[in-house]
Amino acid sequence: MADRKLFAGAAIKRLRRGANMTQVALADALDISASYLNLIERNQRPLSARLMLLLADRFDFDPRQLVADEPGGGVNGMGRRLADPMFADLAIDRSELEEWLIAAPNTAEAFVRLFDNRSTGQLVTAVETSDPISLIRTEIERWRNHFADLDSIAETLADELRLGAGDLYGAILERLRVKHQLAIRILPESVLPEILRRLDLHARQLQLSEMLDPASRTFQVAALLGEIEAQSEIDGLVSGADFQDNAAEHLYRRHLSSYFAAALMMPYARFIRACEQTGYQIQILQRRFGSSFEQVAHRLTTLQRVGSRGLPFFMIRIDRSGLVSKRFVGASNGSLAESAHRCALWNIHRVFDRPFEEHTQLVGLEDGSSWFTISRAVQGIGYGVGGITPEFAVGLGLSAEHAATLYYARGANLSADNVELIGLGCPACTRAQCSQRSAPPKNRVLRLDIQETGLTPFSFVND
């Protein structure tokens, strides 16, 4: 809501402590009393627009970072977690959640970490909480996978390159050659086995494998250009994340350079205009921007520019076993992407049978939400050990209430009574008598009757 009050005490306290400032010193800098700042930090007063701008100027950060700091994605994110059947008897409403986040954001964050580790089958230990993948995912989702500064730099650079040549790949190669004295060399797979890209600074070469398709070649050279020309912005984001784990820092830096590459290939204003003109028809977007299905899908999760937002998609990538290798929730608050398990009734698992076709589905979850999803099988690059070409399923989704303008939903009945009922994976699903069930739900007592055999061996007490 536009008139929603912003309580950001925990975020402001972190900023102040990170700058080694006392409340008195920061209050003087903001021209307010120390007692008033104390109330703001304790979430007993909201943050005004004037103070937000002063803080942004004082600490040189994006003001949206304050909103992104809400524990677990704010009220909506906390609500999804508390929709777990184990909390069904508590009847926690939205107003109670709002009060919790305002009064005790740190305890809410502690709950989020405990719950998320439990949901993914992890133990809350020092080893698990330092898992680099979890660390960078938390940081990416804190920004809703939208990095405004990188988008702005990439868009300006894309316009400059576009003026010089219509071929983006050729224009990037020329800029790397002329401005940075770097040449591109395409090498045989036998010379670069198991390597797609190598930067040889001694020879001043970026060496690319011949296995890369045209979209992937453009992506790799664009990523290198971003590492060079957006280095200070990337360094700032990495420094702000304050990782204590070298692997997490490395992977986060790679994510940011990949983000820049996608933003250079699909410049924000032109891309979102094309999305709206085509109804987000991915095949046209691929052709228009020289990108792959997966590159477009990822880009769709990043469109959160203030005043020019795209539809709130989530993206997930799984292999045939259902293991997740990519997930971006963005602004979707999509529990389908966040869940540790997936439902066999979701057609993302069936796309391998008809590769390169887009499969759509309107699904309904136990919490009453409806989601429109688009899934497709894609191939990875290279052959790897044993000559196996990697295969993945990429799934996009958004709340059904936003799906009416999609090309894929034209003529579709998006009403709640037309959904296909699925769950968030058997351990988290309490739908009774599902013949596809492969495991009992957690926190439910099994119903044992030697005289009856049901559709599933896991009949349980649902209340």
Rounded CA Rg of the chain: 24
Has residue 4 been placed in a domain? no
Of 40-54, 404-418, 448-462, minimum mean pLDDT range: 448-462
> Do 81 and 153 belong to one domain?
no
Q: What's the pLDDT at 120?
A: 46
On whether the pTM is more than 0.85, the answer is: no
* Enclosing H/E stretch for 128: helix 126-129
Q: What is the DSSP letter of 244?
A: S
Has residue 25 been placed in a domain? yes
Asked if 371 contacts 365 with a C-beta cutoff of 8 angstroms, the reply is: yes
Asked if 364 contacts 178 with a C-beta cutoff of 8 angstroms, the reply is: no
Has residue 280 been placed in a domain? no
- For residue 35, the tally of other CB atoms under 10 A from its CB is 9
> Do 406 and 441 belong to one domain?
no
User: In the predicted model, is pLDDT for residue 61 greater than 70?
Assistant: no
Share of the chain above pLDDT 70, in %: 87
Q: Tens digit of pLDDT for each residue in 16-56?
A: 877 778 888 888 888 888 888 888 887 778 878 788 888 87
CA–CA gap between residue 424 and residue 452 (Å, rounded): 27
Residues 6 or more apart whose CB falls under 8 angstroms from that of 355 comprise 376, 377, 379, 391
Rounded to the nearest integer, the mean pLDDT of the chain is 85
Asked if 184 contacts 221 with a C-beta cutoff of 8 angstroms, the reply is: yes
Asked if 270 contacts 163 with a C-beta cutoff of 8 angstroms, the reply is: no
190 residue type, one letter: S
Give 108's pLDDT tier (boundaries 50, 70, 90).
Answer: confident
CA–CA gap between residue 204 and residue 190 (Å, rounded): 21
User: In the predicted model, is pLDDT for residue 103 greater than 60?
Assistant: yes
* Enclosing H/E stretch for 137: helix 132-142
> Do 152 and 238 belong to one domain?
yes
Nearest in space to 315 (alpha carbons), one of 355, 273, 282: 282
> Do 229 and 319 belong to one domain?
no
> Do 65 and 79 belong to one domain?
yes
Q: Tens digit of pLDDT for each residue in 369-391?
A: 999 999 999 998 765 556 678 89
Q: What's the pLDDT at 115?
A: 76
> Do 135 and 213 belong to one domain?
no
User: In the predicted model, is pLDDT for residue 60 greater than 70?
Assistant: no
Asked if 73 contacts 333 with a C-beta cutoff of 8 angstroms, the reply is: yes
User: In the predicted model, is pLDDT for residue 408 greater than 60?
Assistant: yes
Q: How many domains does one find in the chain? A: 4
Has residue 274 been placed in a domain? no
Q: Tens digit of pLDDT for each residue in 301-341?
A: 999 998 899 999 999 999 999 999 999 998 887 888 888 88
Residues 6 or more apart whose CB falls under 8 angstroms from that of 397 comprise 313, 314, 316, 332, 334, 336, 337, 371, 372, 373, 374
Q: What's the pLDDT at 69?
A: 54
Provide the residue range defining the domain that includes 440: 430-463
User: In the predicted model, is pLDDT for residue 129 greater than 50?
Assistant: no
